[in-house]
A and B are shown apart, each in its own frame.
Chain A
Amino acid sequence: MTKQHANWSPYDNNGGSCVAIAGSDYCVIAADTRMSTGYNILTRDYSKISHLAEKCVMASSGFQADVKALQKVLSARHLTYQHQHNKQMSCPAMAQLLSNTLYYKRFFPYYSFNVLGGLDSEGKGCVFTYDAVGSYERVGYSSQGSGSTLIMPFLDNQLKSPSPLLLPAQDAVTPLSETEAVDLVKTVFASATERDIYTGDKVEIVILNASGIHRDFMDLRKD
């Protein structure tokens, strides 16, 4: 008798793309606002971005129910941290917490592909990129989600991040200015929207810098 396969899956993919770029004193995190299932659109106006701590923002694509649960868990853990340490979690600390939280469900994973962006303790931009079970790495820029295969090569071409294997270690942050980085993000999403059916409607762009957090929206093709 051949092995029986499940007639139901606990997962669904709601599509969408996320991007984050780290600068010398800023970080840009962006995600489209389209939520879909199969070939249908559920809504054009759903935020995939979560403001976890003062200097730490997460964008997640994948199964949004798992994303929501993950955001809630991290939010609750951050509150506990604040009670115990009397301060906000730093972005690198939150990065480790996210990794541990994802691996905790190694054998029934959160179907969530995350990019974490923020400012490190020196005020420099930092971006962390994850897989679904918590493997992570600090990088200068990253993209996740349905459009990442279209976006990532373009970012590689434009941002030319040095190899993390180089010695002495070179800074991964981009020399671009904040406005140039935001323009790059807008270009990248407009391009991804053309060919990825799951990316479109609007892109939500969050900029974290010394003066705080700023949120912007840009319309994308709705087809």
Chain B
Amino acid sequence: MFRNQYDTDVTTWSPAGRLFQVEYAMEAVKQGSAAIGLRSKTHVVLACVNKANSELSSHQKKIFKVDDHIGVAIAGLTADGRVLSRYMRSECINYNYTYESPLPVGRLVVQLADKAQVCTQRSWKRPYGVGLLVAGLDESGAHLYYNCPSGNYFEYQAFAIGSRSQAAKTYLERKFNNFTASSREDLIKDALIAARESLQGEKLTSSVCTIAVVGVGEPFHIL
């Protein structure tokens, strides 16, 4: 990972056409503790592995309610995640104020992605060091998106980010075909199993893992 000739600031390209600062920001996401999301036709479930600095400290808050119909799980620099959550909440409130209807999830993730992109093209800024799994419900159904520090976003049936997320992803890749028709309880169970995969041996307890659900007729809330 020794390529420090072109990685000093985000506005410098490498000869191979890469922005190293952006890639380093994505590394920060990979170092954060795992966050997992799964979607069915009517529900979206988010699960997080909560790291604690020591036995004495509280566990990090990684799942945020953005609005009744949208929630987000983060991995990476949680401070950046908190700031972006505040932005998302503000956008939802303003949209609702103007249009008296909930902000469609697809619109929110685009705004978030555009905000992230700005930080990849300003010499006095740095990219956000946080990946966001945005779970939401709108008129077009249930959605799960992943927003990168690069400004890219993708929609997923199921996804996992953060450290040891590959184990969770492998489990999800095996099972995802059934998710669309899953019941709420089965979806939560699959989320917990995926979280347990990424813990690899450690005990899965309620202090280590947090689950949140949003669904038809069920506003976003942490279980």
A residues apposed to B, CB below 8 Å = 72-73, 76, 79-80, 83
Closest to B93 in A: A76
B93 touches A80 (CB 8 A): yes
User: A83 to chain B: which residues have CB within 8 Å?
Assistant: 65, 86, 89
User: A79 to chain B: which residues have CB within 8 Å?
Assistant: 89, 93
* Complex alpha-carbon distance, A57 and B96, angstroms: 21
Closest to B65 in A: A83
Could you give 14 example pairs across A and B, Cβ below 8 Å? A72-B97, A73-B97, A76-B93, A76-B94, A76-B96, A76-B97, A79-B89, A79-B93, A80-B89, A80-B90, A80-B93, A83-B65, A83-B86, A83-B89
Nearest Cβ distance between residue A84 and chain B, in whole angstroms? 9
* Complex alpha-carbon distance, A140 and B96, angstroms: 35
* Complex alpha-carbon distance, A79 and B103, angstroms: 15
8 Å CB interface, B149-189 against A: none
Contacts A79-B89, A83-B65, A83-B86 known; 10 new A-B pairs at CB < 8 A: A72-B97, A73-B97, A76-B93, A76-B94, A76-B96, A76-B97, A79-B93, A80-B89, A80-B90, A83-B89
Closest to A79 in B: B93
Nearest Cβ distance between residue B71 and chain A, in whole angstroms? 12
Interface range for B = under 10
Identify the 8 closest CB pairs spanning chains A and B, nearest first: A76-B93, A83-B89, A76-B97, A79-B93, A72-B97, A80-B93, A80-B89, A83-B65
* Complex alpha-carbon distance, A120 and B89, angstroms: 28
User: A76 to chain B: which residues have CB within 8 Å?
Assistant: 93-94, 96-97
Nearest Cβ distance between residue A110 and chain B, in whole angstroms? 16
Nearest Cβ distance between residue B72 and chain A, in whole angstroms? 12
Nearest Cβ distance between residue A173 and chain B, in whole angstroms? 35
Nearest Cβ distance between residue B164 and chain A, in whole angstroms? 30
Closest to A86 in B: B65
* Complex alpha-carbon distance, A83 and B97, angstroms: 16
Closest to B67 in A: A79
Interface string of B62-105 (1 = CB under 8 A from A): 00010000000000000000000010011001101100000000
Closest to A72 in B: B97
Closest to B96 in A: A76
User: B86 to chain A: which residues have CB within 8 Å?
Assistant: 83
* Complex alpha-carbon distance, A72 and B98, angstroms: 10
* Complex alpha-carbon distance, A199 and B104, angstroms: 41
